[in-house]
Structure 1
Amino acid sequence: MKLLVTGGAGFIGSHFVRTVLAGGYPALAGADLTVLDKLTYAGNPENLPAGANLVVGDITDPALLRRVVPGHDAVVHFAAESHVDRSLTDPAAFVTTNVLGTQLLLDACVAAGVSRVVHVSTDEVYGSINEGAWTETWPLLPNSPYAASKAASDLIARAYWRTHGLPVSITRCSNNYGPYQHPEKLIPHFITRLLNGLPVPLYGDGRNIREWIHVDDHCRAVALVLTDGRPGEIYNVGGGTELTNRQITDALLDLCQADPTLITYVEDRKGHDLRYALNGRKLQDELGFICRVPFAEGLAATVRWYTDNEPWWRPTLPVLVPALAWP
């Protein structure tokens, strides 16, 4: 199989790429893999194994896509602007990359006759839910420019399946954590600040609830959908671990052996969703997916990774010190 991975130098995409190339997904063993990544601040070639076939470029460049996409049997589309806070101040970048970029990529896939596409999305397209959990048929009610741009890209993917017969499936995942995540996001942001004795900014009252999944479990779900998922279908990828932001902060304080007085409550984010929760039964019933990484174990391993890999994240420190970071 010739496989194209967009956004493959980012946090989640690079984990998928490393695992494919290491033979971690038997059904994808021996895949001839190409990474297409713009290498923005969130994309890092150091995330990729030596010898990875990296093409530096933008998914909003039609001429580039016409050169790169043909000849690939399958495409896994991770490339996206993904940080909610940035979408509040620069929404145009999110619409351009997430909406137009997805449309142009799918156009190129249709023209090239690509036989399988997975479009990687987010639980944030559903909005906020006070109780229960979202199924794949839940209405889309995004509350941030980021979430709205991902919802739009999901609808474009569905339209290309329905109109052009493009065999595309959509995955919607809960909050990811793990190694190689840029320190703008909550968990690595707080870890790197605490390791430097810096205060951590907690939005509002800290009661916002997120569902967490280790990046390894998420990528394994994407691989399953790629090989066995049904075209035209949506699959929720839920982590099953619900925690308030304050609970996450307390766990990180404990793991980093930091003083609780480092918590600083700050003004809440505009339109901050209260709670996310996914019903992942469809993925479990159809493809047999079950999360393997217990949250406590995965979080402790993540803290150890950032502790042991300071040269990887240290260059971001001038940016992360004044910044806020949230899932």
Structure 2
Amino acid sequence: MSAAGLVEPLGPPSSFAKRVLVTGGAGFIASHVIVSLVEDYPNYMIINLDKLDYCASLKNLETISSKQNYKFIQGDICDSHFVKLLFETEKIDIVLHFAAQTHVDLSFVRAFEFTYVNVYGTHVLVSAAHEARVEKFIYVSTDEVYGGSLDKEFDESSPKQPTNPYASSKAAAECFVQSYWERYKFPVVITRSSNVYGPHQYPEKVIPKFISLLQHNRKCCIHGSGLQTRNFLYATDVVEAFLTVLKKGKPGEIYNIGTNFEMSVLQLAKELIHLIKETNSESEMENWVDYVNDS
């Protein structure tokens, strides 16, 4: 949608208690958040801003697409003129900023694109939100800012030690967001969540990727030994966490969204092989695993 498409908001701003902007709303996690917001907060107008990149789909939002308190706007957070006009026209009260490039492997190939979207795009957004005097700005980051191996204990005060371009871009964007709290006391909140899985996830991520490979009778590709562990959060659980932060999150705070559910990549593959290929045989499971050098 062009900037001209922003001229007439759906209903006067006064008809809704709050107007909430969710960026990247056609993506995996944000679409789950939007569905919950639209259904649970009928007095809130939920505005979905998404440029509809390769991993986004409006099909994720079909269940609420005709609701009176939902609106979709196609646009790019990196377009500063568009974003400024969006805030002026839509009278945004709260921002949930999910929009980002998120695929770690791809970030090594397209590092500058990740920097542009994740850092510059976030700076454009937080600057416009500050100028519009938004009452709360929630920046959705990742626990990957703590480093590649999360076996060690960490909390919100732990130093950022990103080990890939994706994590580095999220850490840098955090700094820009946090600076608006430090300098202007602009009410920003930062969340850092573990890996999320669930319906509508794009198959570049490990769980849907392994499921898709096995369903097509192909092997699960595992880097290195596969013994590296990851924490996994189910989509509805992380939505609950975001809604809690929306209601109770304090300005200037950082919140880790974690889980005790931990599994190695190899064990994850075996669990999926067991479910999809219906086998408990270790030797048969190994036939569905392909190990590659972790270079």
Q: Under TM normalisation by the shorter chain, which class is it?
A: 0.7 to 0.9
| 1-structure distance, mates of 2:152, 2:161 | 16
Is the partner of 2:176 in helix, strand or coil? helix
State the partner residue of 1:13.
Answer: 30
1:188 to 208, 212, 222: 208
Distance 1:230 1:209, change over 3 A: same
Secondary structure of 2:277's aligned partner = coil
1:112 to 2:112 alignment: no
Q: What's the counterpart of residue 277 of structure 1?
A: none
**How big is the shift at 1:106?**
0.3
> Following TM superposition, by how much is the alpha carbon of 1:164 offset from its aligned partner in structure 2, in angstroms?
2.1
Which position in structure 2 is the counterpart of 1:67? 85
| Secondary structure of 1:119's aligned partner | strand
Whether the aligned pair in 2 keeps the contact of 1:117 and 1:226 (CA below 8 Å) is no
Instruction: Could you tell me which runs of 5 or more consecutive residues in structure 1 were left unpaired when the two chains were aligned.
Output: 271-327
The structure number with the bigger radius of gyration is 2
Identify which of 72, 78, 82 aligns with 1:54.
Answer: 72
Q: Tell me what 1:4 maps to.
A: 21
Out of 228, 238, 256, which is 2:258 matched to?
Answer: 238
CA RMSD, 1 decimal:
1.3
Superposition TM-score, scaled by structure 1 size: 0.79
- Alignment gaps of 5+ in structure 2: 1-17, 279-283
Q: Say which SS state the counterpart of residue 233 (structure 2) adopts.
A: strand
Q: 1:173 aligns with which of 193, 196, 217?
A: 193
Task: Give the conservation status (yes or no) of the 8 Å contact 1:4–1:69.
Answer: no
Contact 1:38 1:58 in 2 (8 A): yes
* Greater RCO structure (CA 8 Å; 6+ sep): 1
The answer to whether 1:265 aligns with 2:265 is no
- The 2-side partners of 1:200 and 1:147 are apart by 24
Identity of aligned residues (%): 38
User: Which residue identity lines up with residue 266 of structure 1 in the other structure?
Assistant: V
Q: Is the 8 A contact 1:213 1:240 kept in 2?
A: no
* TM-score normalised per structure 2: 0.87
Distance 1:130 1:222, change over 3 A: closer
Deviations 1:91-133 (A, max 9, x none): 0111001100000000100111111111000000000446442
Give 2:47's match in structure 1, choosing from 30, 34, 39. Answer: 34
Amino acid at match of 1:253: I
